[in-house]
Amino acid sequence: MADWQEIVAASEAAGLAARGGFAVAPADGVPELAPGRPAGALALLGAVGGSLWPAFSASPEYADGQPHPLDRWSRRVVTALAERFGARPLFPFGGPPWLPFQRWAAKAEPVAPSPLGLYIHPRHGLWHSYRGALALAAVPAGLPPREVLASPCESCSGKPCLSACPVGAFALVDGVTRYDTQACAAHISVPAGADCLQGGCRARRACPVAPRLAYGQAQNEFHMGAFLRARQSDGAR
């Protein structure tokens, strides 16, 4: 049986953060380890703040100029961890079909949807992500229970995230977030959008939770640049 602290240590050594886990129930939609061999537990792996950036930015995937470097790095690193712990690696990319990572995240950690649509964590704010998961045969020894914490959005009356975007790309309509990706992409593609391109999304930065975890300029430029290329590619089809 895997030990949770071993998973935590191995993940950190690889540049990832162990983001909690849970005993698998049939309704969770976790794929089998092999035909006829159901998973007993799921461990989520990702990042908090810029925790993955040093390892990723030093990787061959980051430097090789090929598409989707972060996904390829994540696949390599998570697969290696899966082999170490006798697990099946799972990923939030590469679909369809898409695995229910948001549902899994909410079962493992006290995350909830924010007005921007991103999941917010009471301590990490909007500065966290999920890069993969390990489907394990059994619950790891020492796996901590899910914390029960209220979403910070419940007590945030001003919702500064919704008014910070310079082109009004985010709007809450009947309780549902509308995100105008075209307006966002058009803004960061011109000099007037340099602050968003280099400093990161203003709406995300406006959230008062955990500003100390905000990404650095290099990581912001990487993510915003990837978003812009994806939108431009969609528009060219």
The torsion of the CA quartet 70, 76, 81, 83, rounded to 10 degrees, works out to 160
Judgement on whether residues 96 and 201 belong to the same structural domain of the protein: no
Q: Which amino acid, 234?
A: D
Q: Are 141 and 4 in contact (CB under 8 A)?
A: yes
Q: 90 and 8 in one domain?
A: yes
pLDDT along the chain (237 residues), means of 10: 93 98 97 96 98 98 97 98 98 95 98 95 98 98 96 94 94 84 94 93 96 96 92 64
pLDDT for the residue 234: 67
Residues 198 and 85 in one domain: no
Centre a 10 Å sphere on the Cβ of residue 234 and count the other Cβ atoms it contains.
11
Question: Is the distance from CB of 81 to CB of 143 less than 8 angstroms?
Answer: no
Distance, CA of 209 to CA of 158 (rounded, Å): 13
CB-based contact 51:17 (threshold 8 Å): yes
Distances (CA, A) of 233 to 72, 77, 86, 123, 228: 19, 27, 38, 35, 9
Domain containing residue 140? 4-151
In the numeric block, the tokens 């993940």 are attached to 11
User: What CA–CA distances, in Å, run from 2 to 5, 80, 90, 119, 158?
Assistant: 9, 15, 17, 28, 44
Q: pTM of this prediction?
A: 0.94
Whether 139 and 118 share a structural domain: yes
Same domain, residue pair 129 and 36:
yes
Closest CA to 31 of 88, 81, 82: 88
Interatomic CA distance for residues 72 and 77, integer angstroms = 9
DSSP state of 145: P
Same domain, 134 and 217: no
Residues forming beta bridges with residue 98, ordered by sequence position: none
Q: Are residues 102 and 195 in the same domain?
A: no
Domain match, 60 and 12 both = yes
Q: Give the count of beta carbons closer than 10 Å to the beta carbon of residue 67.
A: 11
Q: What 3-state class would DSSP assign to 88? A: strand
Indicate the number of domains in the chain: 2
Last residue of a domain, one of 151, 177, 198: 151
pLDDT of residue 235: 56
Give the residue from 151, 179, 203 where a domain finishes: 151
User: 217 and 108 in one domain?
Assistant: no
Tell whether 21 and 123 lie within a shared domain.
yes
DSSP code at position 198: H
| Residue 124 tokens, joined | 């990490």
In residues, how long is the chain?
Answer: 237
Kindly state whether residues 125 and 14 are assigned to the same domain.
Answer: yes
Over its C-alpha atoms, the chain yields an Rg (Å, rounded) of 18
- Does residue 144 sit in the same domain as residue 168? no
Domain stop point among 121, 151, 181: 151
